[in-house]
Amino acid sequence: MSATKTTAERNKAALAEALDRIWMEGDLSFVDERFADDYVLHNPARPQGFHGPEGFKEYVGMLRSAFPDMAISCEGTVADGDTLATRYRWRATHEGELLGIEPTGKEVVMSGMAFLRFEDGMRKEDWFLDDFMGLFAQLGVVEPPTA
């Protein structure tokens, strides 16, 4: 294999760096460096989405203020050119308000999947599908489904 990384390899490395810097360290300057000005995050939990680097910072701030000890792990990532698909899981303690839910002190685990699209090395568009129903059940806000 040549010493030059493919686009897919560069984008996988960018995802790993984003997880470390943004989610684990809380370094939001990374968002300004690597997210396109017209970036869009699509998420069914917020149909209007989050727009631009500031919108992504709002999303991060909402989750990190509720779960300051959040630790994320990727459980699988595949890449094809400028698009990545990843499956992840995060663990955290509910220590701050989230969407009107007062802190419970409960330890939670949430899984999700995302498609990320890059353009010229910049994050351009993401589609997140998080298991908020499972999270809300763990927090005691909704009854867990029964089999």
Domain ranges of the chain: 7-138
pLDDT score recorded for residue 57: 97
pLDDT score recorded for residue 41: 97
Question: 11-15, 20-24, 111-115: which has the highest mean pLDDT?
Answer: 111-115
- Rounded CA gap, 50 and 33, in Å? 17
In terms of C-beta distances under 8 Å and separation of at least 24 residues, what long-range contacts does 60-64 make, across chains too?
60/22, 60/23, 60/28, 60/31, 62/98, 62/99, 63/98, 64/23, 64/26
Asked if 88 and 113 touch (Cβ cutoff 8 Å), the reply is: yes
User: CATH code for 7-138?
Assistant: 3.10.450.50
Per-residue model confidence as pLDDT tens digits over 97-144? 998 999 999 999 999 999 999 999 899 999 999 999 999 999 999 988
Asked if residue 4 has pLDDT above 90, the reply is no
Q: Which residues contact 62 (CB under 8 A, 6 or more apart)?
A: 98, 99
